[in-house]
Structures are given as C-alpha cells and as structure tokens.
Amino acid sequence: MDLSLDLFSPQAAPAEWLVIATGVAALAVTVPRRIWLLARNAITIAHEGGHGLLALATGRRLEGIRLHSDTSGLTVSRGRPTGVGVVLTLAAGYPAAPLLGLGGAALLGTHRVTLLLWLATALLLAMLVMVRNAYGVLTVLLTGAAFLLVSWLTTPEVQSVFAYAVVWFLLLGGVRPAFELQSKRRHGGAPDSDADQLARLTHVPAGVWLFFFHAVAICSLIGGGRWLLGY
C-alpha cells in the first residue's frame, strides 16, 4: 500500500443527507448543557493547543499545558511579558477550534478524509508531549486513540462520517465558548480571561477582543459550513 497516495488521494464524496445528518448530530452535542460539559473537553484541547502553537511560533518557550476536568485549561509559556508574541499567544485560544474546523472543512471540501484524520492524530500526539497533568494526558490520549482507531480499523464510509462529525463539532462548538465568556464577564466573573489579559496588554477594550473571538467563530462556521455542504 502506498501510504502517501492514500493520504493525499481524494475519497468518494458522501451523500448530502449524510453531511447534514452529521451537522445535526454535532449540534445536538453542542446545545444541551450536560452533553456539552463533556464534549467541551475537545474544544479545550484545541483552545490550549492554539495557545501552545502560537507560543512556539512567536519564539516563546512553551513550559507546558494542563487540561482540567471542569473543561478549563492552562498553557504556560516563558518570554517577554509584553509585545507581539504574548499578544498573539493569548489571542490564539478562542479562535483555535473554529479555525481548525475551517481547515478541516477545506480538506473535506476536496474529499481528503484520510489526510484530515492523520493530521488530527499528528497534532494530538504533538500536543501530548507538552501536557503536564494526568487528566490532560488521559483526555488527549483518548481523543488521539479515537482518531487512530477510526483511521486504521474502519471502512471509508465510517471514516467519512466521523470526519464530518468532528469538523462540524469544531465549527459549531467553537462558537459557544465566546458566548460563555461574555456571560461570565457580564456577571463579574473571569477577570483574568484571555480577553481581559489582552485588554491590559494592548489597551484595547476586552469587548473588542470578545467581538474578534465571535467574528472568527461565526465566519469560520459560515465558510466551513459552505465547504462541507458543497456550496
């Protein structure tokens, strides 16, 4: 088997009803609070991974990532306490899941399901190296194992359903955290949120950063949804 050919070759496009069904399933996971509290761990992985990736990309030293059972997380990096690097690192968290969903939708728009699954597995393995607590290691391992098992052991049809469901969830689930943060701030909570830290660093109001998070998430959902649906 030529693995490189399999990775980059397009697979057969799924039926439109199946694409819509996976979107509805992702929405059903995102909206109900009890299910969301469990599923949100995946969004937290993407969120903290976004912080970590931008920390490395801007030359900061990534100390570690922690994921907690309440679906919160913490990424610690060392470097200048001010400047572009720390601003980009802080700003990367909330947009990470929507932008990953947008990238995944672009791949699925060209029917490269296998490439998407393997890229996701590679990103999870890279993140695992930097996770510094037991719950975080377990969460990333289980998520990575799901991608690996689906990639190796299931039929192309099952892989396609899984890939579309994951991308829809990143796009839909990526919208909710900014609204949750907005609600917390309205009630006096989350004084050290990413938006508030960015406000202190840049002197740009936290509300403007919240608008940025919302804009990225909603635009990603619209653009990604159009790619997934073939419009």
Q: What percent of the chain has pLDDT over 90?
A: 89
Q: What's this model's pTM, rounded to 2 decimal places?
A: 0.94
- φ, ψ for residue 171 (rounded to 5)? -70, -45
CA–CA separation, 139 and 40 (whole Å): 11
Q: How many residues are present in the chain?
A: 231
Cα distances (Å, whole numbers) of residue 136 to 37, 113, 154, 231: 16, 27, 27, 38
Structure tokens, 197 = 């830290």
- By mean pLDDT, which of 100-104, 173-177, 182-186, 189-193 is the weakest? 189-193
Percent of the chain that is helix, strand, coil (3-state, to 5): 75, 5, 20
For residues 115 and 7, the answer to whether their CB atoms sit within 8 Å is yes
Instruction: Give me the pLDDT at residue 9, please.
Output: 74
Instruction: Give 85's pLDDT tier (boundaries 50, 70, 90).
Output: very high
For residues 111 and 187, the answer to whether their CB atoms sit within 8 Å is no
Q: What is the pLDDT of residues 27-50, one digit of tens each?
A: 999 999 999 999 999 999 999 999
CA–CA separation, 7 and 123 (whole Å): 16
